[in-house]
Amino acid sequence: MLIVGYCLGIRSERRLCDEVHLNLAYRWFCRLDLNGRVPDHSTFSKNRHGRFRDSDLLRQLFEAVLSRCIQEGLVGGEGFAVDGSLIAADASRQKGVEAAEWKAPEAANRAVREYLAVLDDAAFGAATPVVPRALPHHSNA
């Protein structure tokens, strides 16, 4: 069901359940017959925020699906896309963390550790040194 939601841009789990309940093609894809019960939307939230949060299961599932898509010729791997959406930050000085309370990267969850690990990699947007072509000329007049 999540694959249907991702492919069709359905962000709401509640709406996804409604769509699968009503659409015969989605039911077929999810291996639900006409009388099959569609899982409740809360099932997705409970699993995402509970069992799957620190597990590697979703990554393994994604990699298995990707591998199968490559085998079937659906994905070539020659190019990639980046989402450049601008998202307003939910940050302020009042929500800051004191230095004494800050956790070292080693204590962070897996997603944060992976993000921090690639920050210095130029392929992922790390700053590269820029040599100016000419120094600006300042007039003493």
Rounded to two decimals, what is the model's pTM?
0.41
pLDDT given at position 94: 72
Q: In this model, does residue 49 exceed pLDDT 60?
A: yes
From 11, 12, 30, select the one nearest 21 (Cα to Cα): 30
Mean pLDDT of 57-73: 83
pLDDT tens per residue, range 69-127: 888 888 776 766 666 777 676 667 676 767 677 666 666 777 777 777 776 665 555 55
